[in-house]
Amino acid sequence: MPPDLLVLSASNGENLALSERFVAAAHARGMGAEVLDLTTLSLPLYNPRTHAEAGLPAAVVPLSETLGAAPRWVICAPEYNGSLPPVLTSAIAWLSVQGEGFRSLFNGRPVAIATHSGGPGVEVLAVLRIQLAHLGAHVVGRQLSSSRNNPAKDSSIDDIVHRLQRMDLIQP
pLDDT digits (tens, 9 = 90+) for 129-147: 999 999 999 999 999 999 9
> 23 lies in a domain?
yes
> 171 lies in a domain?
no
pLDDT digits (tens, 9 = 90+) for 19-33: 999 999 999 999 999
The CATH number of whichever domain residue 21 belongs to comes to 3.40.50.360
Provide the domain count of the chain: 1
DSSP string, 144-162: EEE-SSSPPPHHHHHHHHH
First and final C-alpha spacing in the chain: 22
> 170 lies in a domain?
no
Q: What is the pTM of this model?
A: 0.96
By residue range, what is the domain housing residue 119? 5-165
